[in-house]
Each structure stands twice: as structure tokens, then as C-alpha cells.
Structure 1
Amino acid sequence: MKVLIVSDTHRKNENYFKVLELQKPDLVIHCGDTEGSEYALSEAADCPVQIVLGNNDFFSCLPRELELQIGAFKTWVTHGHNYGVSMGNEMIKREATARGVDIVLYGHTHKPVVDRKSRVIAVNPGSLSYPRQEGRRPSYVIMEVEDSNVCFSIEYL
């Protein structure tokens, strides 16, 4: 299964549409801050789309968090702003461990990360619209799941 993980598109969706066409995923997970464009993002995909509420998603009915089973992996999706991710991902990894999940997907920082330093894998796809990492290239993550194997790659436009 090929999962496209994105975040922080902030209603600037052109790069998202390009990535959908390029990657043709089986599932899309958006880690929040669509700013009201969740319907456009969902309608554009030829697969299921899961989106959580970000700190800029005012007046939205999106869920604050999701727990999904992706292959053999219990996965928690949250925007991350309620778990101090701007200061690092230690708090969100502790919470993920307490919840018994294998993978936590989050956004908010606009900086891509795949952190495998603990039992929980912490993944942030960065931002397709307003990247903040060095070089400031729009980013997303591809998660490939086969049986009990998972691999992540940070991709750039």
C-alpha cells in the first residue's frame, strides 16, 4: 500500500494536486491546516483521504485526531500543535507510546522529519505550500506498507 502523507497546505493546493497525479497513492493522510479546502483535497484524490484538524482550521468539522490501522501498524494522526512539536517531537512520541501506537503522523512545523530513534516512528511531511526547512522546498512523505514492513521517504518538489 502506498500512502501519501501531507500537511500544512494552507489553502494553496496546486502542489498537492501535482503530487496526487505524480504519486497515485492508495491512501492520502493530511495532518491538518487545510484552511477550508478539505473538500477540494478529498475530491481530487482517486483514493480515500483522511484529514485532521490543524490550528488554522477554524470552523471546520474535521476530527482533532485519528487512529488508523495501516497494514500491521497502529497509526495516530494529529496536527501536533497540542503536543509541543515546535520545540521537538519528544512529547508527541511519549504520548504515542502511552497510546500504544506504532507510528505518529503530525504536521505544524512545516519541516519534514522521519524519526526512528524510538519504538514509535514519528513522521512529519513538512509543508507543500510554506516549507520552513533549509532550502525551503515543498515536501511530503511516501509511506510504503507491505505486510509487517514499512518504509518512509521524504520527497521534494
Structure 2
Amino acid sequence: MKVLILSDTHGMMEDELKEVTERHRDEAEAIIHCGDSELQADDPAVTPMWIVGGNCDFDSRLPDELVKEAGQHRFFIAHGHLHSVKTTLMNLKYRAQEEGATIVCFGHTHIAGTEMNDGILFINPGSLRLPRTRRERTYAIVELTDSEATVMFYDFSGNPLKELEKSFQIA
């Protein structure tokens, strides 16, 4: 199973957002947006997504957090601005543990990366609009099996960023 993960698209035009999501339409079983889309909750570009609100989103219909299941995996999704992700992942880890989630998807930092911490996989897809620490605008796809998660990152055009790819054993 594959899940497409986006974040921090900051007012990206609907056709640009659809270009990325359509590229992976046949392989991704779910699409996650980790906030700061700056779009309304009912915008057609984001309605098929599991989406949360970020600090630059002003539609109160967007939740601060979501817990979703894909296959046997439980995801905790948040933008991260309410969890101090620029200084620590500890708050996200505690919330994921409270929710029984083993995968956390978040944004806010605009920095693409992934890590395993106490059996919880953290994925930040970076930003499709305003990246930090890299020049490429990025998104991620996590491929999940019963025992392994492989996180792959791509630039806006769909080119893989192999140096960021990582695999993890998961429960």
C-alpha cells in the first residue's frame, strides 16, 4: 500500500496541486495534506485528501489533527505548529502514542525528512511551495507492507530524490 503525503502548498494553484496528485492517482490508496494549503476545506483540489489546518489556513472546518487508518496502519496527522515541531518531535510522539498511531505525518518546518523514534515513524514531506534547506519543492510517498515502511521523496516534477529515501522496520 502507498500513501501520498503533501504539506505547505501555500496557495498553490489547483491545477499544480492536481498535477502532483494525478501523477500518483493509480498507486496511492490515500492522500494526506499536512496543512497550510491556504485552500477552503471544500475546494475540489483537497476534498479527496485527509487534510488538516495549519497556521496559514483560515477555514475553521479544517481540523487541527486527524487520526486515520490505512490497511493495518494508524496515522496521526497534524501540521505541527501547535506541537512545537520546529524545536522537538516529543509533543507529536506523545499525541501519536495517545492515539495508538505508529506513523506521524506533519509539516510546518518546510524541511523534508523522516525518522523512527520509539517505534513511531515521523514523516515530513517538506514543502511543495516554499522549501527550506533544499532547493527542490518536495512531497513524499510511503510504501507500507506488514513489516516495513519505505519513504520516498520526489521533487515537484516527480523526479525521485534517492538520497532522502529510507526504509524502516515497523510493527
Q: TM-score scaled to structure 1, two decimals?
A: 0.86
Residue 109 of structure 1 aligns to which amino acid in structure 2? Answer: T
- Give secondary structure in 2 for the equivalent of 1:42: coil
- Mapping 1:4-153, distance limit 5 Å: 4-13=4-13, 15-24=16-25, 25-38=28-41, 39-42=43-46, 48-133=48-133, 135-153=134-152
CA contact (8 A) 2:3 2:141 kept: yes
More helix by share: 1
Structure 2: which amino acid aligns with 1:150? A
Q: Offset of 1:148 from its aligned partner?
A: 4.6
- Deviation digits for residues 131-150 of structure 1, max 9, x if unmatched? 112x3210111011234543
Structure 1: gaps spanning 5 or more residues: none
Secondary structure in 2 aligned to 1:122?
strand
Judged with a 3 Å threshold, the aligned counterparts in structure 2 of structure 1 residues 23 and 59 are, in CA distance, closer, same or farther, namely: closer
What is the alpha-carbon distance in structure 1 between the residues aligned to residue 67 and residue 98 of structure 2? 13
Contact kept, 8 Å, 1:141 with 1:154, in 2: the verdict is yes
CA contact (8 A) 1:9 1:129 kept: yes
Q: Deviations over 1:61-116 (max 9, x none)?
A: 11221101111111111111111001132321233223321011111111111111
Unpaired stretches in structure 2, ≥5 consecutive residues: 157-171
Higher RCO by CA contacts (8 Å cutoff, separation 6 or greater): 1
Q: Deviations over 1:12-49 (max 9, x none)?
A: 13543332232222211001111125413236xxxx41
Task: Name the CA shift for 1:60/1:36 in 2 (closer, same or farther; >3 Å).
Answer: farther
Structure 2 length-normalised TM: 0.79
Moved over 6 A (4+): none
Partner amino acid, structure 2, of 1:145: L
What is the aligned length? 152
SS in 1 for 2:32: strand
The AA in structure 1 aligned to 2:8 is: D
State the identity %. Answer: 37
Range moving further from structure 2, 8-17 or 30-39: 8-17
Letter in 2 for 1:114: T
Over the residues paired in the alignment, what is the CA RMSD in angstroms?
Answer: 1.9
